[in-house]
Amino acid sequence: MQNTLKASVTFDGVGLHSGKPVRMILKPASADHGICFRRTDISLGDTLVPARWDLVERTALCTRLVNTSGASVSTVEHIMAALAGCGIHNALIEIDGPEVPIMDGSSAHFVRGIMQQGIQRLGAPVTALQVMKPVTVSHEGATATLMPSNRLIIEFHIDFDEAAIGRQSRTLDMRNGTFARELCDCRTFCRRADVETMQANGLALGGVPGENAIVFDGPVVESGQGLRHSDEPVRHKMLDALGDLALAGGPIFGHYIGDRAGHSLTNTLLRAAFATPGALRKVSCDPIMTARLPGQGLVWAEIPTETRRVA
Ligand SMILES: [Zn+2]
């Protein structure tokens, strides 16, 4: 069955790139509503921005949705990952600015907020997307692939010159609350040189190393209380991938493989999958299929907190 939230939940924070304060309120929504943002600071034109792959403006640094009236919401990937990872299929997300609050750079605040309110079952089956044949896209040495699978598997490989990151690989089956347990507290990261370039271009103005992003500077790692997992960077890339795949319009049964991929390439992959005849098939989930969806089997005690690391 489809799910929504039992009650609204509010998040106050700043935009990572704008540095501006923002309030975001997740509200329950009915079956088949899907996930949709609404800009409450705009009064003219269409203020609804559906969380859909075909509204993504492909940029390197974050995932930005733009509707046909030009209303946009940036950095949607961490809240989308939290919703997908908790098995929330329907929600209205009111936001009073152009960028989702970065919180601590991970999805943990969102997951805890959603799970504190609880999950409301709705009276309609989940429509999922089954990957029927492999689709691969590549760009400048990075690749992203979707392979057929009867569950969602996320596999990721990264390779950075910084010795503190280096090569990292991980593969996880997203059933049974895996996202909340293994990935949701993994924070966004970048290199010191990238911070300087971004800030010179008016970006990452809300970034505070160690507080809402991990910054790697040669052998120095600015990570607050230390890394939350020894391979936190690749786990964050998996979190991003789940959030970007959640823009497909429903849960995916497939094996995603990202090799140095990013937001833009994962969106290119979704576009290629939807454009390839027979690559994706809509399926109405029976109870056995529903049991394999992310968010099923998620329990409160397994959600990491500031003082309790689980994985
Ligand atoms: Zn991210």
pLDDT tens digits for 149-169? 999 999 999 999 888 899 999
| Ligand 1 geometric centre to CA of 276 (Å) | 27
Using the mean position of ligand 1's atoms as its centre, give its distance from the Cα of residue 175 in Å: 21
Q: Would you say residue 310 lies in a domain?
A: no
Q: What is the pLDDT of residue 297?
A: 81
- The pLDDT score that the predictor gives to residue 309 is 58
Is position 255 annotated in a ligand binding site? no
Return the pLDDT at 54.
96
Residue 138, class by beta-carbon neighbours within 10 Å (0-12 exposed, 13-18 middle, 19+ buried)? middle
Distance in angstroms (rounded) separating the CA atoms of residues 63 and 297: 28
For the chain, give the mean pLDDT: 94
Average pLDDT over residues 214-233: 91
- Ligand 1 centroid – CA 126 distance (Å): 26
Q: What is the DSSP string of 269-300?
A: HHHHHHHSTTSEEEEE--HHHHTTSTTTT--G
Please measure the distance between the N-terminal and C-terminal CA atoms of the chain and give it in whole angstroms. Answer: 29
Identify residues whose C-beta is under 5 A from ligand 1, the ion. Answer: 188, 240
Q: What is the DSSP letter of 309?
A: -
Residues with catalytic roles: 263
The secondary structure element, H or E, covering residue 240 is helix 232-245
pLDDT above 70: percentage of residues in the chain: 98
Task: Give the structural domain span for 29.
Answer: 3-302
Judge whether residue 308 has pLDDT over 60. Answer: no
Range from 3-17, 60-74, 84-98, 272-286 carrying the lowest mean pLDDT: 60-74
Tell me, yes or no, whether 311 lies in a domain: no
**Within a domain: residue 60?**
yes
The response to whether 240 counts as a known ligand-binding position is yes
pTM for the whole structure: 0.96
Specify if 274 maps to a domain: yes
Residue 44's pLDDT is 87
Determine, yes or no, domain membership for 14: yes
Closest among 53, 31, 74 to 245, alpha carbons compared: 53
Q: Are strands 142-148 and 152-159 parallel, antiparallel or unpaired?
A: unpaired
Q: Is residue 68 part of a domain?
A: yes
d(CA 242, CA 85): 8
CA of 243 to the centre of ligand 1 (A): 9
What is the percent of the chain where pLDDT is above 90?
80
What number is the average pLDDT over the span 289-305?
86
C-alpha to C-alpha distances, 131 to 69, 189, 245, 300, 309, nearest whole angstrom: 32, 30, 12, 31, 34
Element (DSSP H or E) covering residue 117: helix 108-117
Q: What is the pLDDT averaged over residues 280-298?
A: 92
How do residues 6-59 score in pLDDT, each as one tens digit? 999 999 999 999 999 999 999 999 999 999 999 999 998 899 999 999 999 977
Q: Specify if 307 maps to a domain.
A: no
Specify the number of domains making up the chain.
Answer: 1
Q: Is residue 88 in some structural domain?
A: yes
Residue 281 belongs to domain with CATH number: 3.30.1700.10
Query: Is 78 labeled as ligand-binding?
Result: yes
